[in-house]
């Protein structure tokens, strides 16, 4: 599986996806606009580090973003280089999990979005159905158990190198207001 993850075509698609998403720089300060120039220069060393087990994820930058109710939510921002590698893994493993989801599930899925969810709800209303369920688990991503998640992922992803990458991303410390904190649960 790791061969598909690090295949040049997959990495190029991942790079283009991260650039298209824009987004902020992580703890290293490397902006998405700098990726097209910087990533190719680092790619061979990254791939060698991954193959030898030397790759380490950079810390995650913790950024507080305002919510509509006056509160704030902590958002974890990986470095742009880590995001390219994460996207490369995602592109390979997502099809393994996609078949498990209901066609009525619209969150965080390829080719699915909130607008489609609203459209589906409208269609159901026109069909005479009168119950719509919207589930949003409060702080879900902050509470994800790493061991449980890794065990569930391993059921489909048997590649030790790919699993090692996912584990390193989950366990990367988060930098909040200049101080590093360990993480044993939650996903950025």
Whole-prediction pTM: 0.88
Across the beta sheet with 174-176, the strand order is 72-77, 60-66, 174-176, 179-181
| Domain-wise residue ranges, the chain | 1-102+146-181
Which residues, other chains included, contact 17 with Cβ-Cβ below 8 Å and sequence gap of 6+?
Answer: 87, 91
pLDDT of residue 138: 75
Kindly calculate the radius of gyration of the chain based on its CA atoms and give it in whole angstroms. 18
Q: Are 27 and 58 in contact (CB under 8 A)?
A: yes
Sign of CA dihedral 36, 38, 41, 44: negative
- Tens-level pLDDT at each residue, the chain (188 residues): 999 999 999 999 999 999 999 989 999 999 999 999 999 999 999 999 999 999 999 999 999 888 878 888 888 999 999 999 999 999 999 999 998 888 888 877 888 888 998 898 899 899 999 887 777 777 788 889 999 999 999 999 999 999 999 999 999 999 999 999 999 898 98
Task: Write out the DSSP string of 41-82.
Answer: HHHHHHHHHHHHT---PPPEEEEEEE-TTS-EEEEEE--HHH
Q: How far apart are CA 106 and CA 95, in angstroms?
A: 15
């Amino acid at each position: 599986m790791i061969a598909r993850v690090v295949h040049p075509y997959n990495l190029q698609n991942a790079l283009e996806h991260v650039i298209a998403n824009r987004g902020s720089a992580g703890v290293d300060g490397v902006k998405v606009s700098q990726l097209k120039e910087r990533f190719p220069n680092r790619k061979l060393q990254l791939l060698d580090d991954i193959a030898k087990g030397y790759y380490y994820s950079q810390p995650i930058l913790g950024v507080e973003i305002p919510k509509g109710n006056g509160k704030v939510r902590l958002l974890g921002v990986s470095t742009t280089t880590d995001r390219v590698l994460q996207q490369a893994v995602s592109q390979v493993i997502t099809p393994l999990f996609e078949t498990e989801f209901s066609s009525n599930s619209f969150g965080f899925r390829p080719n699915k979005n909130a607008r489609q969810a609203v459209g589906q709800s409208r269609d159901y209303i026109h069909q005479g159905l009168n119950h719509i369920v919207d589930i949003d688990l409060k702080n879900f991503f902050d509470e994800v158990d790493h061991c449980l998640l890794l065990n569930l992922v391993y059921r489909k992803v048997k590649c030790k190198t790919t699993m090692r990458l996912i584990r390193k991303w989950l366990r990367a410390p988060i930098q909040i207001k200049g101080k590093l904190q360990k993480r044993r649960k939650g996903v950025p």
